[in-house]
């Protein structure tokens, strides 16, 4: 079964919009796990416009499944991850002013830096994953850094899914095959939702984890959080 890691950033976005502590992000984490989530993801950014570094520290001792922290490996992020020691760190090349992640790593251009960052986290006993486009050359270069996994950036798949899902998923199948040939674990995320995640899961070999936040929280407004998480789990189940 592909694991579902719920990204709780949007709970913090809603809280920050009004001030105070509603919704309570720590309670949201506990609820998501109680409702069946097999992991929790956060993506703290330097401006703390959603998840704050303080939230990350408060969330860590509450998590009973897996904790995944995403982000650009700037010094403050590296320090936070080494302090909190999540189960997994996913390195993402997002600019400080990016609304959301919008590209994977150029693993050729940043090969030296990525190898250094991966080494730092692995020495601390933290599993590493690199956010990449579904490009076999980038995945092969990612393997050279020593990373444990890659996370496929799925925005292109999600955008094309409604037009031609078979064509949309072709690059991701090739990417998954390349990752397997390089002995890399495979994660995926970005714009996956209740409509498109089941086909992705069924078609991509070796998919270990999906990280879903924005769509899941939006769907929860209509369907309820517990029901939405359970719907994702059914779509990710192996039959």
- Checking 90-94 for CB contacts under 8 A at 24+ apart, the result is 90/41, 90/128, 90/129, 90/130, 90/131, 90/151, 90/187, 90/211, 91/117, 91/118, 91/128, 91/129, 91/130, 91/131, 92/43, 92/131, 93/131, 94/45
Question: C-alpha distances in angstroms, 25 versus 15, 38, 95, 137, 159?
Answer: 8, 17, 25, 39, 29
Within 10 A of 238 (CB to CB), how many other CB atoms are there? 7
Q: Which of 33, 66, 151, 190 is catalytic?
A: 190
Q: Which of 33, 43, 50, 219 is catalytic?
A: 43
Q: Which of 33, 50, 66, 70 is catalytic?
A: 70
| Residue 209 a catalytic site member | no
| Residue 70 a catalytic site member | yes
Length of the chain, please? Answer: 239
| Residue 43 a catalytic site member | yes
Annotated active-site positions, please?
43, 70, 190
């Amino acid at each position: 079964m592909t694991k579902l890691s719920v990204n709780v950033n949007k709970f913090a976005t809603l809280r920050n919009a009004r001030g105070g502590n509603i919704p309570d992000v720590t309670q949201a984490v506990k609820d998501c796990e109680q409702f069946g989530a097999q992991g929790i993801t956060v993506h703290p950014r330097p401006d703390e416009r959603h998840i704050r570094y303080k939230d990350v520290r408060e969330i860590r001792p509450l998590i009973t499944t897996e904790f995944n922290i995403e982000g650009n490996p700037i010094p403050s992020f590296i320090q936070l991850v080494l302090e909190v020691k999540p189960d997994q760190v996913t390195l993402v090349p997002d600019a400080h002013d990016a609304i959301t992640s919008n590209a994977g790593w150029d693993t050729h251009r940043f090969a030296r830096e990525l190898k250094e960052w991966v080494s730092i986290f692995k020495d601390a006993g933290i599993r590493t994953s690199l956010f990449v486009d579904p490009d076999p050359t980038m995945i092969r270069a990612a393997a050279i850094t020593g990373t444990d996994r890659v996370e496929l950036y799925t925005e292109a798949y999600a955008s094309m899914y409604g037009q031609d899902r078979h064509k949309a998923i072709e690059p991701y199948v090739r990417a998954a095959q390349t990752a397997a040939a390089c002995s890399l674990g495979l994660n995926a995320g970005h714009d996956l939702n209740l409509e498109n995640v089941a086909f992705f899961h069924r078609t991509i070999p070796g998919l270990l984890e999906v990280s879903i936040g924005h769509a899941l929280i939006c769907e929860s407004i209509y369907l309820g959080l517990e029901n939405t998480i359970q719907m994702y789990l059914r779509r990710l189940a192996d039959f």
